[in-house]
Amino acid sequence: MSTAKDKDTHKTVEDSAKTDAKAKSPKTAEDSAKTDAKAKPKSKAKKAAAGKSGVQQFEYQAELKQLLHLIIHSLYTHPEVFLRELISNASDALNKVRFRMLTDPNVLDAEAKLNVRITLNSEEKSITIEDSGIGMTRDDLIKRIGTVASSGTMEFVQQLKAQKDQKIDANLIGQFGVGFYSVFMVTDEVTIETRHADPDSQGYRWHSSGEGTYTIEEIDKPTRGTRIYFKLKADADEFAEEQRIRHIINKYSNFVDFPILLNSQEVNRVEALWHKQKSELKEEQLNEFYKFVSNDYQDPMGHLHLSIEGSVNFKALLFIPQTAPPLHLRHEDDRTVHLYTNKIFIQDDCKDLLPEYLRFVKGVVDTEDLPLNVSREVTQSSPAMVKIRSILTNKLLGLLEDWAKNDPAKYQRFYKTFAPLFKLGLNTDFSNRERLVDLLRFESTVTEDGDVTSLKNYVSRMGSEQKEIYYLSGEKRELLLRNPNLEYFRKKDIEVLLLSDPIDVFILPGIGQYQEKQLKSIDKADIDLQRDADETERLSENLSKSLIDVFKETLGDRVENVQESKRLVDSPATLVVGDSGMDAQMEKMMKMFQQDFSGSKRILEINTAHPLIKNLARMNLADSADPLLRKAILQVYDGALLLEGSLSAPSEFVQRMTDLMVEATKG
């Protein structure tokens, strides 16, 4: 099991073992200078000196220089996490060699015990951390230690810079793929001695003070694995105390899947919690285990403990986090669920165990129905994996359904956190589509700000005459509530769903109907609305038709049509979508994806009971060619565009408004 976030450890153990087994011969310093600007001897003089002494000096990648400077010179709130990161890296290395030895016993020091050994020297104020794992080649030292590995690292650097003099939470380190470098919070220089598991491998010593350069030299190292040695800074000498280190190991690394020896005494409890009975587990244990497998510092929102026997046999301990990671840190290498076979670690991110829309789930699955030498191809095609995936999905949806029914506040927290990913299941998991639809939540005109409702609850509140489920999409609730298209529904006390999540405009039309009720956007022109019996305030049919003709003539091809509105109560005009058109919000989304996307023309609806429209009708009777009438019509149209958020020429709108005000204020 592993927690380090360096990119190289994001690979499966199987892939890493294959890659490490085929490690290429290290490049010479001359080759490096020609081909790798990120790892080059600094000068000809130093290069010559390197040839005599066997010590080669290299320069850090530019981004890593910035990062190291910030780590060394910034004040962190939890510098103790350096130990968590180094132990996690050691655990990764042990997992890799253990997996390789399942199929290839021809490794260096094959009988070596798999463990992590920590030695403290209180007099020297030094720490040594050693493992018997896969080890590193010269290329590994350059690519993994001398180069930024994670795509999120630069975002991390910018975040640290933005905090300036504030204390920085060191818990963030593991999330940004820079775990090893956290050691510079407690030391001024670090030495790594390592040898790869290949029998013909060479030992190397890596050394750096974190100030822009590092050195690599060949050494005689009889055993495989990696040894990290450093002396503590004066303000970090607390970490030379055995009790302090023991506490940190128990706090962060208690569930590492290998023994951790502190001054030759085993410290951690190596327990497979997922093999225990539910009644035996305490919440504190579960929270601690979750933090270990997820590298999160918060307790989980909830968990699911399974022991399945039947057509497929497996045990699982799955967790739903409190928060989602920042979007810029999400990528295909994110670790989700660890796969074990008979307590033997296989993969740290088995994507085939859960559908994409449940990728936020963390935890462990252990099955006896897969061979120890399982490959990624086998997991993808294995009937056992298909069954496990189906059961896990079913159980997780059951957990969410239970929250939705018995703990709505918790479910609402879950939904607000993970809805953007969770909703994608409607377009991919058709076997669970109905369950997913029931788990959807939306704000509406009857919910308080921030509260949500289900489609089931919406239908339960519908009047007997209402035949459709209505919704309106836009950027945020405040703007949606000011949309003129809501006026009829407010007057008739008809609930409308308010869709402010951009993905909703793609999801809801695809649902089509719910409990035999069609889902309908109130932006659509063909919506079935009933007029009030008392129509005395509206223009007569002849006056209305004549004015609409002038609107059409004035607006020309700006609009698809102009028609009298049934939905407006207080506003003079609004824009709606024709039969083949998209919602305004969906068109905005399409324009973001395709700059040349033009969208469809809209239909302008006018409220013939509004005083402004009546005044325009009188002007039309007097002189249909009146320039002021035509200017007012253009202003009504642009005003509708403005309310919709689609006005492309605000300067023209303001100039026209000024002209109209000048006319209106003449003496």
Q: Which helix (H) or strand (E) holds 288?
A: helix 283-294
Q: Which helix (H) or strand (E) holds 317?
A: strand 314-320
Residue 152 reports pLDDT greater than 80? no
Residue 592 reports pLDDT greater than 80? no
Identity of the residue numbered 124: E
For position 115, what pLDDT does the model report? 96
Neighbours of 419 (CB within 10 A): 19
For position 658, what pLDDT does the model report? 95
* Percent helix, percent strand, percent coil in the chain, to nearest 5: 45, 20, 35
For position 200, what pLDDT does the model report? 96
Residue 519 reports pLDDT greater than 60? yes
Q: Are 545 and 620 a contacting pair, CB within 8 Å?
A: no
Identity of the residue numbered 256: V
Domain ranges of the chain: 7-230, 273-409, 440-521, 541-664
* Cα–Cα nearest to 193, from 206, 183, 184: 206
All residues at 6 or more sequence positions from 504 whose CB lies less than 8 Å from its CB, including other chains: 423, 442, 473
Which 8-state DSSP code applies to residue 76? Answer: B
For position 334, what pLDDT does the model report? 61
pLDDT band at 48 (very low <50, low <70, confident <90, very high): very low
pLDDT band at 320 (very low <50, low <70, confident <90, very high): very high
Q: What's the longest Cα–Cα distance across the chain?
A: 104
- Answer whether 7-230 and 541-664 agree in fold: no
Q: Which residues of 215-237 are buried (b: 16+ CB within 10 A; e: fewer)?
A: bbbeeebeebbbbbbbbbbeebe
* Cα–Cα nearest to 354, from 321, 395, 313, 322: 395
pLDDT band at 25 (very low <50, low <70, confident <90, very high): very low
- Average pLDDT value for residue range 342-357: 83
- Average pLDDT value for residue range 79-88: 88
* C-alpha distances in Å from residue 193, one per residue of 164, 219, 429: 35, 8, 49
State both tokens at 46: 């130093």
**How buried is residue 434: exposed, middle or buried, by Cβ count under 10 Å (0-12/13-18/19+)?**
exposed
Q: Are 194 and 203 a contacting pair, CB within 8 Å?
A: yes
Residue 1 reports pLDDT greater than 50? no
Q: How many residues does the chain have?
A: 667
* Cα–Cα nearest to 644, from 590, 588, 599, 565: 588
CATH topology of domain 541-664: Four Helix Bundle (Hemerythrin (Met), subunit A) (1.20.120)
Domain 440-521: give its CATH code.
3.40.50.11260
Dihedral over alpha carbons 463, 468, 473, 479 (to 10 degrees): -30
* C-alpha distances in Å from residue 26, one per residue of 31, 49, 54, 218, 509: 9, 19, 14, 11, 57
For position 525, what pLDDT does the model report? 84
| Helix residue ranges, H only, 368-407 | 376-381, 383-406
CATH topology of domain 273-409: Ribosomal Protein S5; domain 2 (3.30.230)
471 vs 596, higher pLDDT: 471
The span from the CA of 428 to the CA of 331, in Å, is: 19
pLDDT band at 506 (very low <50, low <70, confident <90, very high): confident
Residue entry with tokens 């956290």 = 182
Neighbours of 491 (CB within 10 A): 12
- Average pLDDT value for residue range 555-578: 94
The span from the CA of 29 to the CA of 555, in Å, is: 72
For position 106, what pLDDT does the model report? 94
**How buried is residue 599: exposed, middle or buried, by Cβ count under 10 Å (0-12/13-18/19+)?**
middle
CA 152, 154, 157, 163 torsion-angle sign: negative
The span from the CA of 170 to the CA of 80, in Å, is: 8
For position 530, what pLDDT does the model report? 77
State both tokens at 225: 């694995």
State both tokens at 147: 């180069």
* C-alpha distances in Å from residue 581, one per residue of 393, 519, 527, 587, 639: 36, 16, 13, 9, 21
Q: Where are the beta strands (DSSP E) in 68-171?
A: 116-121, 126-131
Q: Which residues of 154-186 are buried (b: 16+ CB within 10 A; e: fewer)?
A: eebbeebeeeeeeebebbbbbbbbbbbbbbbbb
Q: What is the CA radius of gyration of the chain?
A: 33
168 vs 445, higher pLDDT: 445
Mean pLDDT rounded to a whole number for the chain: 83
Domain 7-230 has CATH 3.30.530.20: no
